[in-house]
């Protein structure tokens, strides 16, 4: 099977750079599966896991916090606000972030930015989920 080059880049620098057989990501419009030769496109991404299939033996997962996916026939570039491979994620820190966000959402205070707390909760849950997929 032909491969496609994938780069995941954040404002802090590159997070992932490799050849894969297939990229699976959650765009705003729905789930995308990308193989070598895919038509060129650009799509905004949701907070979610990007799955990178490297053959029958190994899949890799990268947690992304939004951003954009650019597809060319032989290359996929993901420009993410934040991204981490499963081995980069500090699970205890993600659990703490999840608990903080849940506490903020449960409090009925007027000064709580609920949209921001919801996004923080989604990011934390995504990071925790990605670490579970590695095991």
Q: Which residues of 84-95 are buried (b: 16+ CB within 10 A; e: fewer)?
A: bbbeebeeeebe
pLDDT at 125 over 60: yes
CA distance 90 to 116: 21
Are residues 49 and 32 part of one domain?
yes
Write out pLDDT tens, residues 3-50. Answer: 999 999 999 999 999 999 999 999 988 999 999 999 999 999 999 999
Would you state the pLDDT for residue 97? Answer: 85
pLDDT of residue 90: 78
Number of domains in the chain: 2
Average pLDDT over residues 61-86: 92
Percent of the chain scored above 90 by pLDDT? 46
Q: Are 45 and 96 within one domain?
A: no
Same domain flag for 42 and 57: yes
Same structural domain for residues 76 and 114? no
User: Which band of pLDDT confidence, cut at 50, 70 and 90, is reported for residue 94?
Assistant: confident
Residue 76 is predicted with a pLDDT of: 96
Residues 77, 102 share a domain: no
Residues 75 and 123 in one domain: no
Residues 114, 56 within the same domain:
no
Question: What gap in Å lies between CA 27 and CA 36, rounded to an integer?
Answer: 18
Specify the pLDDT at position 135: 41
The whole domain housing 13 covers 4-86
């Amino acid at each position: 099977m032909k491969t496609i080059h994938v780069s995941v880049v954040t404002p802090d620098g590159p997070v992932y750079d490799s050849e894969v057989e297939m990229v699976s990501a959650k765009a705003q419009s729905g789930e995308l599966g990308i193989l070598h030769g895919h038509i060129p496109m650009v799509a905004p991404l949701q907070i979610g896991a990007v799955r990178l299939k490297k053959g029958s033996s190994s899949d890799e997962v990268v947690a992304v916090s939004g951003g954009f996916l650019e597809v060319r026939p032989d290359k996929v570039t993901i420009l993410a606000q934040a991204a981490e491979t499963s081995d980069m994620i500090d699970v205890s820190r993600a659990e703490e972030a999840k608990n903080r966000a849940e506490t903020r959402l449960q409090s009925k205070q007027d000064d709580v930015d609920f949209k921001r707390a919801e996004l923080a909760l989604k990011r934390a849950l995504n990071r925790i989920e990605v670490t579970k997929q590695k095991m």
